[in-house]
Amino acid sequence: MKIVNNRYIDALADAGTNSFYILFISIVKTESKTTNKVKYSLEFEIKSSPKILYNYLSNASGLEEWFADKVNIREGDLIFTWEGSEQRARIVSKKDNQMIRFKWIDETDQVDDDTYFQFEIVQDEITSDVALIVTDFSTPDEKEEDMLLWNSQIHSLMHHIGS
């Protein structure tokens, strides 16, 4: 396991996130046309069946419960609204009850880099424990803040699921 840095660990402790588990963090530089971003993954233990969890990750009503203030579907894309600001995402890959990958789309419908955000559900064959792996990309200077945001979002998801 890689320790990110003491500042990040201290921020998690201050936020009261004792149940937050980072089992691995992988940093990969990507060649992007707009900016260099790093890929990272966070793993959370979730007390839920993969089927129930997948419903919260893969449809507009489920995502609206924990991820955004409002989620609509327009022309096959998901429109996420936070405090009046909209962002459009497209589902680019999915496997029922296992994984869903989204790609942010800009105003001109351009997809000009290799970044995405993904939710992967992994169930241990022996213990049946369920883990949610969140993969995202961020600029190096925004990575810590983005990771804290994901922590907050996933804890909201866990609250709604009853995990």
- Asked if residue 103 has pLDDT above 80, the reply is yes
Question: 114 lies in a domain?
Answer: yes
Question: 69 lies in a domain?
Answer: yes
Question: 134 lies in a domain?
Answer: yes
Collect all residues with Cβ–Cβ distance below 8 Å to 1 and sequence separation of at least 6: 22, 23, 24
pLDDT of residue 112: 58
Number of domains, the chain:
1
Question: 1 lies in a domain?
Answer: no
**Mean pLDDT for the stretch of residues 129-148:** 96
Cβ count within 10 A of residue 133: 16
pLDDT of residue 84: 87
pLDDT of residue 21: 39
Question: 90 lies in a domain?
Answer: yes
Question: 55 lies in a domain?
Answer: yes
144 phi/psi in degrees, rounded to 5: -60, -45
Q: What pTM, to 2 d.p., does this model score?
A: 0.76
- Asked if residue 33 has pLDDT above 50, the reply is no
Residues above pLDDT 90, as percent of the chain: 69
Q: Tell me the C-alpha distance between 73 and 3, whole Å.
A: 39
Residue 47, domain extent: 6-161
Collect all residues with Cβ–Cβ distance below 8 Å to 124 and sequence separation of at least 6: 130, 131
Q: Are strands 38-46 and 28-29 parallel, antiparallel or unpaired?
A: antiparallel
Q: What is the DSSP string of 5-65?
A: -HHHHHHHHHTT-TT--------EE---SS---EEEEEEEEE-S-HHHHHHHHHSHHHHHH
For residue 89, the domain's CATH number is 3.30.530.20
- Asked if residue 14 has pLDDT above 90, the reply is no
For 67-93, the pLDDT digits (tens) are 999 999 998 899 999 998 999 999 999
pLDDT of residue 97: 97
pLDDT-derived band at 111 (thresholds 50, 70, 90) equals low
pLDDT of residue 154: 97
Question: 11 lies in a domain?
Answer: yes
pLDDT-derived band at 163 (thresholds 50, 70, 90) equals confident
